[in-house]
Every structure is written in structure tokens, then in C-alpha cells.
Amino acid sequence: MATVVKFISLTLCLYIFPLSLVCAFSPTDHYLVNCGSGAAETVDPDHRVFTGDESEFLISTRTNRLVEADFQLYSSSPLYQTARGFTRPAHYVFPISDRGTPHLVRLHFHPRFTNSCCNCFEVEFHVVANGFLLLYNFRVPRGDGPPIIKEFVIPVDFGKLEITFIPSESSEFGFVNAIEVLSAPKDLIADVAQYVDSGKVEWIHGLSRNGFETVHRVNVGGPKVTPFNDSLWRTWVTDDKYLQGRDGSEKVHFGGRIQYQMGGASREVGPDNVYNTARIIKSSDDSTPKSNITLTFEVEKGCRYMVRMHFCDIASVSSGMIYFDVYVNGNLAYENLDLSDVTNRLLASPFYADFVVDEGALGNLVVSVGPSNMSLPHAVDGLVNGIEVWRMNNSMGSFGEEVSAEYVRASWRRGHTGVLLPLAAAVFLLLTASVFMVRKKNGHVGWSRLPVDVSETNSKFDNQFSSVKA
Ligand SMILES: *[C@@H]1O[C@H](CO)[C@@H](O)[C@H](O)[C@H]1NC(C)=O
Ligand SMILES: *[C@@H]1O[C@H](CO)[C@@H](O)[C@H](O)[C@H]1NC(C)=O
Ligand SMILES: *[C@@H]1O[C@H](CO)[C@@H](O)[C@H](O)[C@H]1NC(C)=O
Ligand SMILES: *[C@@H]1O[C@H](CO)[C@@H](O)[C@H](O)[C@H]1NC(C)=O
């Protein structure tokens, strides 16, 4: 029955509503959680329905509900009105039915609780998910900035995804405003990509086993795309701060229909709003231009990155006229990209290419597109519609840190049994002494009850936030 319904809706999608959003992607696993909220439902400005975390997902007790004191003053989304605060590891568990598929995880942070709480900027914590260390010693940057949204794509092989928030030793407090978990479309992460180095370009395999952290997502030549207009509720920013100087490129906009094809980029890989704008270099005379479109992305040194470049020829007058070279960090990554060839000679049909690079000592990643020796005069000689930059996990399963998830979990336990061990020893001594005394008095062996009550260290945080105990 379900298959029939699926088939019918797919048929409707293909033949009846090709242009509408009726057939938007619906993830198999789809959890939207408004942390610290007691309400059953909260609708965010993009019309997405988030549930509270009181009755489901959160399996730790002894966490705090944080409520923003003067919410209206700061933010536009009700998601940031509440948060979950914790002084010890807090676990969220999500049942997963779409196993073996990468899942998107988004964590929202916006510390705007009370005016007296400037300490939210001091708190520091770690986040671990199914063996990956997502965030280590994470602090929310100071200032009145917008909410911080950290996005990851991680493989999930088992029936559950467990996300654990662990306060760091120095701060002993952490918080989270909202969590999104959704299964990614099958084609979001391809298993192969081209590894680009100064010496070589070669295929690397097995990428779907990796975790990815989104670092930059740019709608080149176009406006900002908000989650409302994206098939996977992503945000794509404008290219202004990435573009290098005046490079002779121009922006183009296309009003027609984007021709998604089987085997090419799907609407989930990049939405219409990304593919219908671009930046191009074109030749208007008998020679090809002597310039590149160059974008520079700030990244951390010593990490591995995946760069996804989105192309959709919305500017040529006919197919078979667009050829260009693609460079990553000055190295030729794709020579004579023949966009007509990879899109079955269809204009306005999207295509993407993934490149993996190891970032050395530069601290930035430079991506260029420019004329190749096959480029034609009086034609478009370079084009790019969108660029995404993801940081990949290292061999420790973390993103740029030389520690693993297991190390972080264990060090919290170590730090806290440090207090308990002497206590346990004292209790043992007392017990032994009392047993000895009881035996002496009564002449037989017996246990006397001792009040053993190790109280929580929660209380010292209660006045920092206008908190409500959950
Ligand atoms: C969605 O995109 C359309 C144009 O494609 C734009 O007019 C509209 O403002 C966008 N909506 C949001 C919420 O960004
Ligand atoms: C474009 O950039 C590449 C890599 O930095 C460089 O080798 C090439 O000469 C540039 N092309 C033009 C036309 O400036
Ligand atoms: C383009 O240049 C490469 C060397 O960089 C050369 O191997 C190739 O034959 C050239 N193609 C054309 C069409 O001239
Ligand atoms: C990233 O993590 C996966 C899964 O644990 C592992 O197979 C892979 O080797 C890691 N990547 C690197 C570069 O070590």
C-alpha cells in the first residue's frame, strides 16, 4: 500500500506538478527539537514545527530549562526563547530508521537569557555524536551576533543517534537551544571525489563513511537563500565577502525552469534559487578574457576539506559553447570542463563536482574558475553558481582536534570520579569503624546505616540564569 501511494505521488510529482513545491523532499527520520521548551509544538519563522524536549529524546535528568528574560528584544525566532542547560553530560537519543544513510545534524545556539548573564559567553562545552567529536571546547562568540547554527553530516549505521553535550572542565556548564536531525537524501554525499594536490589529481573513495562539518555555503552571484527556500532547510549566503577584488565577472539571473536530470544534481543537492543565479566571465570580442572568478574561504590549518562546486549553464545562448578550467588552491582541479557534455547538452541543467584538499599552512582555501585553452570567443568562458566547503573528520573522528569522542567522555568521568573516590574511601573507613564498634558492643556482626548523600553541584549555577528546574 505504502509503495503504491509512493508511486502515485512520485508520478504526480513528475507529470502533474513539475514546478510546484508539493513534492518537497520528506526525510525518513525528521526530528526538530526546541530544547528547554515545555510546549508540545513551536513553529519557527520558516513554518517548521519543533517539539519540546520534556517528554521525548532527552534521557538525562538533572538538566535545567533556561528561559530568555527579554526575548522580544533580541531574536525573531521562538526557538531561541528557551534552551536546555546542563552541568553534567546531557544525552539526547533519536531513533533512526533510515540506517546506513548520512544524517544531517544542526545545533542551534543563541545565549540571550538575561541581561545579568554575560556568563553565557564564558561557558564552554563539547558535543559528541555516535563516535564523532562534533564540537570541542565550544564557546559562543561574544557580541550581539545572530544565532550560531552548527551543521554536520554524519553516517548513522545503527538504530539510534545519540548526541551528548559535555561541559568542559573549566566551565562546568553548557546549553543548547534547538536540535535538528534529518536523514539526508541518498545523493547528498557521493562516495568518490577528486583529491587535488600540487602534484596530482586522483580519485578518492569511501567518502560516505566520513563526517562533514559545513564551514561555508555560498550562492555565487545570487541573493541569500534562507531555509524557507531550500529543499533541505539550509542557508546559502551571498558571495560578497569571499570575492577577490574586481575580477571582471558579472552576475546573471535566469527566470526559466531549472532542468533537474536523473544522475545530475537533484533539487536536494542544490535548490532552484542557487542554480538560477551565477557569476560568469564572458568574452565579447574575438579573444578570450584573461581573468578568473576567484573566491577565498577562511579555513583552519591542518584539516581536510571537501569543496563542492555547483554549475548550471544559465548564460550560454546554446549548448556546446562553454569550456573552462577549475582551480583549487592554484592547482588545476578540472581541465576543460565541458558543461554541455556532462549535462546531456541541456542548458539550465545542474551539475556539481567535489574536490578534496588537505589544507596546509595557508589558512585559506582559494577556488577559481577561468578560461581554458578550449574556451571560445564571443561565449561564456567561466561560470559558477554555488560553492560549499565542508571540513572532514580526521583519524580521531573529530573536526580539527587531536582528541577523540571517547577521550572527551572519559576525561569527564575521570574529572568527576576524582571527587568521588576520596569520598568513597572515607565512607568505607567509617563503615569499617562502625562495624567494629557494633560488633564490640553487641557481640555479633551487623551493619549500621550511614547517611550517604552526595549532593549535586547544580545549585551554584541556579542564580546565573533565570532557570526553571525541569
Ligand atoms: C523565497 O524566494 C523567493 C524568490 O525565489 C523570494 O521572493 C522570497 O522572498 C524568498 N522567501 C524567503 C522567506 O526567503
Ligand atoms: C587563473 O588562476 C590559475 C590558478 O591560480 C592561474 O594558474 C591562471 O593563470 C589564472 N588564469 C588567468 C586568466 O588569470
Ligand atoms: C590545452 O593545454 C594542454 C596543456 O596544458 C594540452 O595538453 C592540450 O592539448 C591543450 N588543448 C588544446 C585544445 O589545445
Ligand atoms: C573519518 O571517520 C571515518 C569513520 O570513523 C573513518 O573511516 C575515516 O578514516 C575518518 N577520516 C580520516 C581522514 O581519517
pLDDT level of residue 428 (50, 70, 90 thresholds): low
**DSSP assignment string, 6-33:** HHHHHHHHHHT-TTSSTT----SSEEEE
Distance separating alpha carbons of residues 352 and 311, to the nearest angstrom: 6
For the segment 286-306, the average pLDDT, to the nearest whole number, is 93
Distance separating alpha carbons of residues 92 and 425, to the nearest angstrom: 33
What strands lie across the sheet with 82-86, from one edge to the other?
174-176, 82-86, 64-67, 467-469
Nearest by Cα to 389 from 237, 250, 185, 272: 237
Same domain, 307 and 443: no
Decide if pLDDT at 119 tops 90: no
Distance separating alpha carbons of residues 49 and 129, to the nearest angstrom: 23
pLDDT level of residue 171 (50, 70, 90 thresholds): confident
Cell numbers for 168, please give them: 568542559
Tell me the CA–centroid distance for residue 302 and ligand 2, in Å. Answer: 25
Q: Tell me which of 224, 229, 231, 273 to substitute to probe ligand 1's pocket, judged by most ligand atoms within 8 Å of the beta carbon.
A: 229
Range of the domain at 450: 405-462
Same domain, 307 and 239: yes
Task: Kindly state the percentage of the chain with pLDDT values over 90.
Answer: 61
Same domain, 325 and 201: yes
Can you state the percent helix, strand and coil of the chain, rounding each to 5? Answer: 15, 35, 45
The count of other CB atoms within 10 Å of the CB of residue 247 is 18
- Residue 37 in any domain: the answer is no
Q: Which DSSP letter does residue 243 get? A: B
- Residue 268 in any domain: the answer is yes
For the segment 90-117, the average pLDDT, to the nearest whole number, is 85
Decide if pLDDT at 51 tops 90: yes
pLDDT at residue number 109: 92
Locate the ligand 1 atom nearest the alpha carbon of residue 226 and give its number: 14
Give the number of whichever ligand sits closest to the CA of residue 375: 3
pTM, full prediction: 0.84
Same domain, 215 and 323: yes
Task: Kindly state the percentage of the chain with pLDDT values over 70.
Answer: 80
- Residue 83 in any domain: the answer is no
Closest residue to atom 2 of ligand 1, CA basis: 229
Cell numbers for 422, please give them: 576520596
Closest residue to atom 14 of ligand 2, CA basis: 291
For the segment 294-310, the average pLDDT, to the nearest whole number, is 96
Same domain, 260 and 344: yes
Chain-centre distance for alpha carbon 91: 19
3-state class of 81 per DSSP? helix
What strands lie across the sheet with 42-43, from one edge to the other?
42-43, 49-52, 30-34, 178-183, 101-109, 148-156, 212-219, 386-392, 304-312, 350-358, 193-196, 201-204
Same domain, 443 and 312: no
Contact by Cβ (8 Å): 348, 300: no
Residues in the chain, total: 470
Q: How many domains does the chain have?
A: 2
Q: Is the CB of 170 under 6 A from ligand 3?
A: no
Residue for cell digits 582559494?
366
Q: CATH code at 317?
A: 2.60.120.430
Cell numbers for 26, please give them: 520528506
pLDDT at residue number 360: 77
Locate the ligand 3 atom nearest the alpha carbon of residue 336 and give its number: 1
Average pLDDT in the chain: 83
Q: Which DSSP letter does residue 236 get? A: B
Decide if pLDDT at 262 tops 80: yes
What does the pLDDT look like over 39-49, one tens digit per residue? 889 999 999 99
In angstroms and rounded to an integer, the radius of gyration of the C-alpha atoms of the chain is: 27
pLDDT at residue number 15: 38
- Residue 448 in any domain: the answer is yes
pLDDT at residue number 434: 57
Same domain, 309 and 447: no
pLDDT level of residue 427 (50, 70, 90 thresholds): low
Contact by Cβ (8 Å): 211, 132: yes
Decide if pLDDT at 435 tops 70: no
pLDDT at residue number 448: 30
Decide if pLDDT at 20 tops 50: no
Decide if pLDDT at 244 tops 90: no
Same domain, 294 and 209: yes
Lowest mean pLDDT among 222-226, 254-258, 374-378: 374-378
pLDDT at residue number 423: 54
- Residue 140 in any domain: the answer is no
Q: Is the CB of 395 under 6 A from ligand 4?
A: yes
b/e 117-135 (16+ beta carbons within 10 angstroms → b): beebeebbbbbbbbebbbb
Lowest mean pLDDT among 207-211, 223-227, 329-333, 447-451: 447-451
Higher per-residue confidence, 468 vs 237: 237
pLDDT at residue number 76: 72
Same domain, 252 and 368: yes
Residue for cell digits 553516517?
155
Cell numbers for 19, please give them: 514546478
Same domain, 353 and 324: yes
Locate the ligand 4 atom nearest the alpha carbon of residue 396 and give its number: 14
For the segment 291-317, the average pLDDT, to the nearest whole number, is 96
Residue at which a domain ends, from 333, 357, 392: 392
